[in-house]
Each structure stands twice: as structure tokens, then as C-alpha cells.
Structure 1
Amino acid sequence: MNCQTVWLFDLDNTLHHADAGIFTLINRHMTAYLAERLNLSEKAASDLRQDYWHRYGATLAGLRLHHPEVCVNEFLQRSHPLPEILPALVPVAGAAETLGRLNGRKAIFSNAPSFYVRALAEAMAIAPYFDALFGTDDFGLLYKPHPQSYLTVCGKLGADPKHCIMVDDSADNLQAAKNLGMKTVWFGADAYPLPFVDCAAPDMAALRQWAAAATVNPATMNEATI
């Protein structure tokens, strides 16, 4: 396996502000699809969407288990309408600058579908910084924090988990990454030091600072925050 450092970036609320409007759009379209396809009221469909998300980490995971008759591709396309999503895209400040400065290979590792991952990365003009853009359909329709999703992505990249750095806004996703031997960066304004977090970075400037210090002194990668 390649020993070069591999940066694995989450997408939603890591490289762009999904909470600024895109998640609301996705949730609305997902609820509408469930109401139509499963003959539910809007409230019942919304409750089901949230229940599956809380229980299984993703609404689609619950649908595949309890409603295998639902077409996966149709569900993903209907719930991620790019003509509405792309105008609502709000990139994280400094993302492109940070990606350009980080040493090593880089990949997006997202629970979203691959067509959405590619479209957003291209719209933000950051796709050229990445060796790969992975969505859930690229790793067997599994989801972080399922350990096999990380191992499948590492296998596709020819990377050992111990040479990877996971940057994500979800503490649960980072704990799973740490359990596999990865370095971890908890990204976002709400991040704070935890035993399984190597860096708590509130913004891209903080991530760049930590990465630069680690290049000079690799021991700093074991610090919980910067």
C-alpha cells in the first residue's frame, strides 16, 4: 500500500455549509418522496425519515431494510434535486486555499450519493484537488460510521488507514475512523477536544495551522486541539 498521507474529507458541513439551506431542501424532497411512494401523510413521512436517520445513520439505510421495494437510484435522485441544490451552495471559507496547501493525496468521503458529491465539488471548483470523490454508492451503499465504509474507501485508494487523516463535522464518524487507526480532525465551530480527536479545528485557517505544524513536527499530530 501507498505510504503517502491521505486526507479524507467529509462534504456536507465540512466543505460547504449544508445547514445554510441544502439540508432543508433535501429533507423536504425526501419527505415528499416517502409520502408519495409509501402512501403516507407528510407528517408520517417526515417522522419516518427522521426515525430511520436516527436508527440507521441514513434514511436510505432504513428504507433498504424495511422497504426493499423502493428503488435506490430513484430515491437518491428525487431527494437530491441538483437544479435547486446548486443555487443554495455556500462553500466553507478558505476550503480551496487549504486543499491547495495540504501535502498528500486527498479524497472526498461522503454519505451522500456520488452524483451529488461530484456536482458540488465541481460547482465549488475544488474537484481538481482530489484524487477521488466518493459517495455512498461507491462503497456499497454503506454509511459512516460503519467501519466497512472506511475500509472500502481505503481499499479503493490503496491506502492503509494509519496513513489517513479524516476531516469531518461528526464526532461519531471520527471515533470510527480513530478505531481504525486514522488521525482525526473534528471540523466546525462546535468542535472541541476529545480523546479520539487529534485536532479540533473551528475553521480552515485552524486546519492549515495544525497541518503546517505537523509537517514540521509530526508529534504535533497527537495534540487534541490547536
Structure 2
Amino acid sequence: MPKTWIFDLDNTLHDAEPYIFPEMNRLMNDYVSQHLGIGVDEADALRLHYWQRYGTTLSGLLHHHDHIDPEHFLAETHRFADLPRQLRPMRGLRATLARLPGRKILFTNAPLAYAVTVLRGLGVAYRFDGVIAIQQTRLRPKPDLAGYRRLLQRYRLDPRRCVMVEDSRGNLAPARRLGMATVWLARRARRGPVVDVALHRLDALPAIAGRRGWLHNK
């Protein structure tokens, strides 16, 4: 049977750098400033520190500030006035997904409502057989191995038949450990111990997958 394709969302299916990430960072800074009673500059530094150390800002907040409501944080920091207009799909996104036989699962550290809205805005929601967002990992974000195991269990996946596509090299390490094939999609991407394929453009994936035999029933 064909592979199961596991895709990240931001900076994998769409380019989040021009509009989405700057606005999301601003919303998070405002939230942290308001709920921790600190200045916006200090909140910005803390947000970045928590993201680098724990994988997400929310994980750091929950670890150090037990009064934070995770659902409230996720809702307030992913409010976009006109999200569909801010989306910039990766070149050839729809054609790329159409050329990859097999199941497709979205695996993201973003909240579920945001993930579903983005998939719909990109016009590719119908291509996906499931979504694992931060809530479905019980707030255990990538690269926490627990989230990957939840993914495999929920969709009854054999990791040896999965290909994971990510813009974050660090998030590929647990996938590789579990036996998945890995694709690093980034301008600086290069092959290495946890990276089977390094891509600079998403629309190059079908051709490379074909050369690797990932498109065949075997």
C-alpha cells in the first residue's frame, strides 16, 4: 500500500513568515504581557525563550505559570482578522498533494481550530484524512515523543510506512527514531542523520518521492 504522508502546517504547507508569524508573535507578546504583568519587550524575550526551550511558548507558560488557561491562550493568540487573505500557499501545493498517493495527516503544534481554518483557506482540507493538533497531543508539542506516539496510535500507523515533511529539523529527530522517512523543507535544508531528503521547495517532493520508490505499492 502507498505511504502515509505526515505534514507539518506553518512554513510547510504555507509561508507563514510574511503575515502569520509576525501577527502571532504580537498576539503572544500581548497575552504574556497582560497575564504576567510585564512589559511587552520582556514578554517578547520570554516568549522566545520558552519557545526555544520547550518547543512552544504555551509549554513554557504552563511549566512556570500555573494560572495560565491553555485553551484561552490558544484562542487568543490565534485570532486573525482575515486569515484566508493572509495565507501564502507553497508553490504547487494542490498539485503536489494530488500527486502523492496514500493517506495524508496534518501534525502541528498549532491549535485545532486554526489548523482546520488554514487547511480550508488553502483549499486542501479534503486532501487530509486527519489532523493532530496541540490538543490531540495532550499539550505535548513536537518534538516531544509522546505526541508522535499519539499520532501513530490514533491512526494505527506503521512508522516504517510513513514520510514526515517538516520545516523544523529538530522535529524530524523523533520521527526518524520511530522509523519514519523524513523530509526537511527549508531554504537551508541539507541531508543528515535525521534527514533522508532535503528540499528547498515543496513542489519538488513528488519527483524525489518517485525516485525513492515512495509512490509505489511496496
Does the Cα contact within 8 Å between 2:92 and 2:203 map onto a contact in 1?
yes
CA distance in 2, matches of 1:85, 1:60: 21
Query: Are 1:172 and 2:170 an aligned pair?
Result: yes
Aligned-partner SS, 1:184: strand
**Aligned-pair distance for 1:84?**
4.2
Q: Paired residue for 1:120?
A: 118
Q: Paired residue for 1:132?
A: 130
**Aligned-pair distance for 1:192?**
1.1
Aligned-partner SS, 2:179: coil
Relative to the length of structure 2, the TM-score reads 0.94
Query: Are 1:6 and 2:12 an aligned pair?
Result: no
Does the Cα contact within 8 Å between 1:165 and 1:184 map onto a contact in 2?
yes
Aligned partner letter, 1:69? H
RMSD (Å) for aligned C-alpha atoms? 1.5
After TM superposition, what 4+ stretches of structure 1 lie above 3 angstroms from structure 2?
Answer: 215-218
Instruction: For 1:1-226, list aligned pairs within 5 A.
Output: 4-215=2-213
Does the Cα contact within 8 Å between 2:115 and 2:133 map onto a contact in 1?
yes
5+ residue gaps, structure 1: 219-226
CA distance in 2, matches of 1:54, 1:85: 26
Aligned partner letter, 2:115? V
- CA deviations 1:165-223 (Å, max 9, x no partner) are 100011111122101110001112221111221111111232111112233897xxxxx
Does the Cα contact within 8 Å between 1:31 and 1:42 map onto a contact in 2?
yes
Relative to the length of structure 1, the TM-score reads 0.91
Aligned-partner SS, 2:189: coil
Count of residues in correspondence between the two structures = 216
**Aligned-pair distance for 1:32?**
0.3
CA distance in 1, matches of 2:128, 2:168: 21
Residues 217 and 80 from structure 1, CA distance in 2 versus in 1: closer, same or farther, beyond 3 angstroms? closer
RCO higher in structure (CA 8 A, sep ≥6): 2
Aligned partner letter, 1:188? A
120-129 vs 202-211, which moves further: 202-211
Q: Give % identity.
A: 37
Aligned-partner SS, 1:82: coil
Aligned-partner SS, 1:25: helix
Residues 83 and 184 from structure 1, CA distance in 2 versus in 1: closer, same or farther, beyond 3 angstroms? same
- CA deviations 1:77-118 (Å, max 9, x no partner) are 111113243321111011111111101100110011111100
Aligned partner letter, 1:45? A
